[in-house]
Chain A
């Protein structure tokens, strides 16, 4: 009883101010309103282009909670203490996964516009597509998506519930519960995210295949999550929330994660490219040919320089990772680069003449992003902003880099 009272009084300290919360909500709702009106107008005016842009926007937005799922499970399994003060913010991001299932609806409706393998006449003329049609067909495509979202939502919900329940109990039990769910959850997430990226992105070019593709997508997703997480924490810091709890030591680690993941992303991207370059088989090289022709060549260069070389050189030094202003710039930069990356994965097949950006690209990213952000923001008021019941919290607050 006494313990419960103590927990409640601590919980009061870690709340976001009501007025500040409302201002944040209004800002997100404003962006959501404008972007959804624009996106839906686009759907009516140019359904083809809308769906292409929407697929990019959907994937960029969904990458963030998927990255959170990966990161939180790694944290629970390794008993990470440094990340505990910021963990609730990440859990609130994780909580948006089920909303991603709603965002998937336009894609489920637009399978025919987006995916060549759904066309009966394409199947009739193509032996390879007929062979793959047992897997690549519209019904099974939608059912698979439902399975992915069911798995992700279940795990997101279990981890979220365990952590928020621990706020009240302060017991080790929820910690063990979270680890027990994370152990099977991590490999399951890798398999489902891999398959999802095969379904949603790789099957846009149904003749082409790369087994590392799922990891490539997931590494970018994890990086985008860290970037968004950093931005959310920095926003709170700017408004005087959690200033003492999340210190420059924690931001330093955000910087390390961004550095590590941008290198990992480049490693996977290069592994995929080099093997295909070396094998030099026509059915594999077409995909890269498409991305090295016309203005796509410059888009690819932007990806290499902007997603890897520049961040690598900027974030390699210790002082850079401890400058919050620079870290914020880099986090924003990585979010922009995730858009460049997903656009590069999705669009070349639709834009054979070269890069053709459209206002719907911006509208779709903002629409999907702001929809998830609203769910996230609603969560920010529901529970303390810090997992106050976690026994590792004190250790996390005291954390220092050597």
Chain B
């Protein structure tokens, strides 16, 4: 069991975990810690997604949507260009008396390539932006980490946060109704 003693301050402290019993306690604690006390480097761990937790602990909107949109546009334009180049410019071939290049028959392909590019970008981008795959995380060092996959809701405050202070932060988290607060080494 960790205790908050002066000698621990010299150790490699990564952060602090507070354990809550109900999802709404976690959201409320996260909201107070972030919005009222100005902590920024926060994380929440729970067995299932909790509505409103992102806004509560100040997780910014992901930029993934914009990347996906850009790649979708690229796929769309790329497909049109490909068809135009192959059938209309590089090796002109009349098929069924149709124009060498026309948008009408190209749109299904443009649509499909848009979806392909967008979907692959969303898939790979989600992993990349989340830093996945990742086999280790300091929060695993929490003595009862397994509870976060079952019936406990964890609020993580990283030591890198400018407002982090072992005593202050612990007092704050305990005052917000944390059942258990623990310092985590990295």
Contacts and interface: CB of A to CB of B under 8 A. Distances in A.
Interface of A: 270, 273-274, 277-278, 280, 316-318, 398, 400, 402
Interface of B: 49, 51-52, 61, 65, 69, 96-98, 104-105, 107-108
Contact of A278 (B51, B65, B104): B104
Contact of A274 (B52, B61, B65, B104): B104
B79 to A, nearest CB: 15
A278 B49 contact: no
Contact of B104 (A273, A317, A402): A273
Given A316-B69, A318-B61, A318-B65, A274 B51 contact: no
Given A274-B105, A400-B51, A400-B52, 5 more contacts: A274-B107, A278-B105, A316-B69, A318-B61, A398-B51
B61 to A, nearest CB: 7
Contacts of A398: 51
A280 B95 CA distance: 13
A380 to B, nearest CB: 30
Contacts of A402: 49, 51
A398 to B, nearest CB: 8
Contacts, number: 22
Contacts of B97: 280
A398 B105 CA distance: 46
A270 B107 contact: yes
Contacts of A270: 107
The interface centre, meaning the residue of B61, B97, B98, B104 with most chain A CB atoms within 10 A of its CB, is B104
B82 to A, nearest CB: 19
22 contacts: A270-B107, A273-B104, A274-B104, A274-B105, A274-B107, A274-B108, A277-B104, A277-B105, A278-B96, A278-B98, A278-B104, A278-B105, A280-B97, A316-B69, A317-B65, A318-B61, A318-B65, A398-B51, A400-B51, A400-B52, A402-B49, A402-B51
A270 B61 CA distance: 34
Nearest to B55: A400
Contacts of A277: 104-105
Nearest to B106: A274
Nearest to A273: B104
A96 B52 CA distance: 38
A249 to B, nearest CB: 9
A172 B107 CA distance: 47
A402 to B, nearest CB: 6
Nearest to A270: B107
A214 to B, nearest CB: 22
B56 to A, nearest CB: 11
